[in-house]
Chains A and B, each alone.
Chain A
Amino acid sequence: MRLCLLAAVALSLAAQTPPASKEGAAPTGNAQNGKKIFESYGCYQCHDHDGHGGAGARLAPNPIPFAQFSRYVRRPAGEMPPYTAKVVSDQELADIYAFLGTIPAPPPVKNIPQLNH
């Protein structure tokens, strides 16, 4: 668990980097299929069903640039298991990325009474 959290910290920092340089532009993806395989391929296990993070890093809203995202998924530097092209195609990665792009921002903290004590 501790190890997972350390990896989460590393990727969480990445998740907060400014989005989408030209080089990192994402290919067109099908968000609906992305949502489906985010579940079936087990991404939700560490990143929760909406990509908000859990044992793994927060992926959404505002996902990191696609190139960085893709590179990490293929060859993770931390605890994440690798998702090679043999099990997740480039198109499927684009679909997942498109799904992450649809996750809305949370309500502002100041509007949540339970977080303001």
Chain B
Amino acid sequence: MAKLKKNSVNRRGFLKGAAAGTAALVTGTTAEAQQPETRPSAPLPSARSLAAETAPVSAAVEVLTADRPGSDFMVDVLKYLGFEFVCANPGSSFRALHESLINYGGNKTPELITCCHEEQSVAMADGYAKIEGKPLAVMAHSTVGLQHAAMAIYNAYAGRYPVFLILGNTIDVNARRPGVEWYHSAQDAAAMVRDYSKWDDLPISLQHFAESSVRAYKISMTPPMGPVVLVADSDLQETPVAPELKLHIPKLTPASPPAGDAAAVAAAAKLLVAAENPVVLADRAVRTADGLKLLVELAETLQAPVVGGKFPTRHPLSQAGGRALLANADVILSLEVPDLWGTLNTVRDQLHRTTTSIPKSSTKVISVSAEDLFLKSNYQDFQRYPEVDIAIAADAEATLPYLIEACKRLITSDRKNAFAERGKKLADAHRQGIERARTEASYGWDSSPISTARLSAELWEVVKDKDWSLVSGAPSRLWNVDRVYQTSTGGGAAGVGYGAPASVGGALANRKHGRLSVSIQNDGDLMYGPGSFWTAAHHRIPLLAVMHNNRAYHQEVMHIQRMANRHQRGITNAGIGTTITDPNIDYAALVRAMGVYGDGPITDPKDLGPALRRAADVALKGEPALVDVVTQPR
């Protein structure tokens, strides 16, 4: 153990003086006590504190400073792993690491991002990972911080996105201060989120911290990805590193994602090439720009329609109307579809639930998913068990090159001609689908509240000529989406309160690329964590947020309406407990109070376009902006 640095500070002398003053006030016998009362600028220490602070101490405990705390080495590890940012709401259990980051680490790579809530910190990391394809670090304050962070961790877990969470904690009872610090300590701090994190550890030495950090990073980035938790003991952070201690950061070697077994891939290719009406479900198939190219190549090789997921919306094989395609399919290729059963079946939400299979019973289903490689028991995010004909336990994106080659090997000239004919029909269907979408968007064009279709169309007008990225919310079918970073999925577990912080995290990732980050922000979601917008203002994170403000937790309105109808009573009461009115919230004023440009509420559709352009100008100059738009429910 290194010796603590001896230092003399004047605080002790100051305290002695304070003690004298306190004594005087207590006895009230000095001349000053007779003078008119003057208020001290700060509360004076209690007699007990003074006694403790002013009593003679031995030379051994006079050691007060340290040159190289363990937390400095932890920063070395974080720098080695290449984190750009660390999101955190401050907490004493990681105070040494916090200080090391901003002073020893120079507050650069990683830079500390101040968050207003731990749920915000983790959701920002999730949103960042969706754009950047790698994790952010997050620091959270032991028991209380982790409890705040839990929902966002579950969202990241269910969505299969990497987050690197460092959890402060104090294991040694001798190291805890009395009182609050005991509430903020746990013997197994990560236990609470173990059901929905991919891996966790409690390193008991700095070497252990280094190894577990590299391991945690690797695990979080290996598909299926997920959040990892590393407990950073406060003693380990604060204790100086002994000069003779040799520490080593192990080499990070990312694991290659698992590709499908050759025989299974060949069997899948055989079915696909022979199929008359194949359908590709692309849900979470694409993670990277290369993955997007591969998916396009597979679709074009087979001239097969692609439904869902990331796929260029203007590509003729991009198809809406998934239900009709599935009903007519003879082979379905499911690529990383988290709820395959729910995609292939309908369940009526009536008193007696009835289910219907959408595909024919003869339809062959091929699943390629890394989900088969990683499951936990308690939380039911794995969805209902799907019946399939070929199950390839592998990462879809890593498997695509082999599947494409296997298909190409089997395609004869006859099949090529048949594919070409199929492609023409699908291109026609694509064109008709776009025309239908245009017509549908015209309904309610001049309505107030403003239709969501008009909101989407006006927003597209603003972004279409820019390098844009929709970091929260879904684009309409009329948007030209052809890059992998242009869309982000919602919270993996559909936990509300995700949109605002995740969009700020996505915007943070986009900032260095100079992209215009755009979000469609729900009102109920924003009220879970409006502080995200303060973070955006504080750190100059450009974002154009457009409110879809239907003044309700609208899905819940519909659920209560369903129950009232089912029970045949009180059908006018569904708004009780579900709407966000009386008073209406002025979201523009809310964000203005945090230093963000705010405009609205916009209720006249004619005002929407100009308001969006004004806000986009702010975002393009590098600042966050929000336009509150009062909308139709959906």
Contact = CB atoms under 8 A, between A and B. Distances in A.
Nearest to B447: A50
B568 A81 contact: no
Given A3-B348, A81-B566, A115 B443 contact: no
Nearest to A84: B568
Interface in A1-54: 1-4, 6, 9, 40-42, 44-46, 48-50, 52-54
Nearest to A81: B565
B468 to A, nearest CB: 14
Contacts of A46: 558, 633-634
Nearest to A87: B571
B496 to A, nearest CB: 14
B460 interface: yes
Contacts of B443: 52-53, 58, 106
Contacts, number: 112
B342 interface: yes
* Interface SS, A side: loop
B430 interface: no
A79 B461 contact: no
Contacts of B634: 46, 48, 54-55
A93 to B, nearest CB: 13
B250 interface: no
A81 B451 CA distance: 23
A5 to B, nearest CB: 9
Nearest to B562: A81
Contacts of A79: 348-350
A54 B442 contact: no
B568 A115 contact: no
B529 interface: no
A86 interface: yes
Nearest to A79: B349
Interface in B567-618: 568-569, 571-572, 574, 609
Contacts of A83: 565, 571
A115 B562 contact: no
Contacts of B457: 112, 114-115
Nearest to B552: A45
Interface residues of A, number: 38
A112 B451 CA distance: 14
A88 B323 CA distance: 32
Contact of B442 (A53, A78, A112): A112
Contacts of B323: 6, 9
B30 interface: no
B452 interface: yes
Interface in B45-76: none
B438 A115 contact: yes
Contacts of A50: 444, 447
A52 B454 CA distance: 12
A1, A46, A116: residue with the most chain B Cβ atoms closer than 10 Å = A46
A78 B558 CA distance: 15
Given A46-B558, A48-B634, A114-B460, A106 B566 contact: no
B398 interface: no
Given A54-B633, A83-B565, A117 B442 contact: no
A52 B562 CA distance: 20
Given A50-B447, A54-B633, A114-B457, A45 B574 contact: yes
A48 B632 contact: yes
A42 B564 CA distance: 10
A82 B451 contact: no
B348 A115 contact: no
Given A107-B445, A115-B457, A87 B568 contact: yes
Contacts of B452: 54
Nearest to A42: B561
B444 A81 contact: no
B346 interface: yes
Best-surrounded residue of A44, A54, A55 (most CB of chain B within 10 A): A54
Contacts of A88: 571
A116 B326 CA distance: 30
B464 interface: yes
B449 interface: yes
Given A2-B342, A79-B348, A52 B571 contact: no
A114 B447 contact: no
14 contacts: A2-B342, A3-B349, A4-B558, A41-B572, A45-B557, A48-B444, A48-B634, A55-B633, A79-B348, A106-B445, A107-B446, A109-B439, A114-B458, A115-B442
The 4 A-B pairs with the shortest beta carbon distances in the complex, nearest first, are: A54-B634, A81-B565, A52-B444, A52-B443
Interface of B: 323, 342-343, 346-350, 438-447, 449, 451-452, 454, 457-458, 460-461, 464, 478, 554-555, 557-558, 561-562, 564-566, 568-569, 571-572, 574, 609, 632-634
Given A42-B557, A117-B478, 15 more contacts: A2-B343, A45-B554, A45-B561, A46-B634, A49-B632, A55-B634, A81-B561, A81-B566, A82-B565, A87-B564, A106-B443, A109-B439, A109-B441, A114-B458, A115-B438
